[in-house]
Amino acid sequence: MEHFDQLYQALNEVVGYIYPNEIELRWSILIVLYPYITGLVAGAFILASLNRVFEIKALKPTYEISLLAALAFLLVATMPLIFHLGHPERFYELMMTPHSSSAMAIFGFVYLWYLMVVLLLEIWFDYRRDFVVWSQESKGLKKFLYKVLTLGSNDISPKALKLDDKLGYIITVVGIPSAFLLHGYVGFIFGSVKANPWWSSVMMPVIFLLSAMVSGIALILVTYMVINYFRKQKIDMLCLDSIGKYLFYTIIIDFTLESLDQIHRIYEAEESFDIISLLISGKLFFTMSIMQVLAGTLIPLFILGFFQFYKPKEKIRKTAYLISGILVLVGIFFMRWNVVIGGQLFSKSFYGFTSYKIGLIGGEGMLAAGVWMVVPILILVFLLWLLPPWKKQHSGG
């Protein structure tokens, strides 16, 4: 009966006409986290690849950080999905008996490809020389871990390292389309729901991808500053300025595409338009106009844009970069929120709304969501402890 009580409570929040199966939102905050976290992964990785493939020297200090951050978040990316299942312990069935017509089943393989073939390999090739060196220098658990990671080969002759570098490069090149695929695919999962006019758009994968890049770059910006703060190191302003520059450009492209999508909607004004404009001006006003557009896009855009023409003192710039980075991260979170939650708030009859009340506790509550945001940060701390980028000896000298 408890379930009924929830249902009937939700029923009281309904306005207008809606179908019975639309009263309760099925996709909760956990499903908001799924594209959010995957986006951070893809974005961070693309930044790292830019660095390597296009040899952008200024971004060098963030290369390993980006890869490790991508790995930390990737390891957690599927967790919100799995714990959203009624039977989380059955998740592996998706990989055992995948159905070719299921978008989600194929995602399992896209994910594995990206994790095993792209990210882990790229990190491995990048660090292999250090594994060998560190396995000889360190003691105890670390020594053991490094030994395992070397796969028992201590070959760090220039020839072997050159091969590593070459293979790493190939993987990066393969990795860029893979990262695009990974996150474009998440966008596709939403964009291909043809029954939902708020989701169904061919632009969706592209928008998801661009917003992923925005959030990933912001993540690295913030992570880089936080790491340097804890290590009491001076921040490389040239690097920070160039991350800021790339963040600025991607926000512009992302914002343009999203606006284009909305303008297209407004001009076409299909039969779903009335309900969608009510949605935007009503239930999504705070999360969309205030959090996503104003705080998450316009303010950072203004700050970063300003810095492209005029560069104030370092101290001011640092603070402003940190604030912009955090604002962008929050803004993109709400962008995912507006897509996932927003798409379920209105009835497919186009005549009514339901509402979403997020609980504090429980598997789909705020605390559970918080856990899935903290775990990747802990993993990242562990990875930075095990594979400190600042202790790497760069082959160039």
Partner 1 sequence: MPKHILRLIILFVIVIGLFLVARQFLIPESFGEYGHYRANSIEENANHDIKYVDRAECAECHDDIAALKQGGPHKNINCQTCHGPGNLHIEDPTPENIVKETEREFCGRCHNKNAARAKLIKQIDINEHNIESKCIECHNPHEPWN
Question: Which has the closest alpha carbon to 36: 216, 244, 236, 247?
Answer: 216
Which residues in 165-224 contact partner 1 (CB under 8 A)?
167
Asked if 89 touches partner 1 (CB under 8 A), the answer is no
Q: What's the full length of the chain, in residues?
A: 397
* Residue 20 identity (one-letter amino acid): P
Question: Which has the closest alpha carbon to 186: 41, 25, 38?
Answer: 38
Pick 96 or 361: Cβ nearer partner 1: 96
Residue of the chain from 11, 237, 253, 326 that contacts partner 1 (CB under 8 A): 11
* Backbone φ/ψ region at 233: left (φ over 0), alpha (ψ -120 to 50), beta: beta
Asked if 390 touches partner 1 (CB under 8 A), the answer is no
Site track for partner 1 across 95-134, x = CB under 8 A: xxx-x----------------x----x--x---x------
Rounded to the nearest whole angstrom, what is the least distance from the CB of residue 377 to partner 1 in the complex?
28
Residue of the chain from 2, 4, 158, 310 that contacts partner 1 (CB under 8 A): 4
Alpha carbons 8 and 177: distance in angstroms, whole number: 47
Contact 254, 304 (CB under 8 A): no
Site track for partner 1 across 20-39, x = CB under 8 A: x-------------------
Which strand (E) or helix (H) includes residue 352? strand 352-353
Contact 49, 179 (CB under 8 A): yes
Asked if 8 touches partner 1 (CB under 8 A), the answer is yes
Which residues in 139-168 contact partner 1 (CB under 8 A)?
150-153, 155, 159-160, 163, 167
Query: How many residues sit close enough to partner 1 to count as binding (CB under 8 A)?
Result: 33
SS3 (DSSP) at 200: coil
Which residues in 328-367 contact partner 1 (CB under 8 A)?
351-352
Give the binding range for partner 1 (CB under 8 A) out of 15-23, 202-210, 257-265, 377-385. Answer: 15-23
Joined tokens for residue 139: 């003691």
Alpha carbons 19 and 348: distance in angstroms, whole number: 8
Alpha carbons 237 and 255: distance in angstroms, whole number: 26
Pick 93 or 137: Cβ nearer partner 1: 93
Q: Which residues bind partner 1 (CB under 8 A)?
A: 1, 4, 8, 11-12, 14-20, 92-93, 95-97, 99, 116, 121, 124, 128, 150-153, 155, 159-160, 163, 167, 351-352
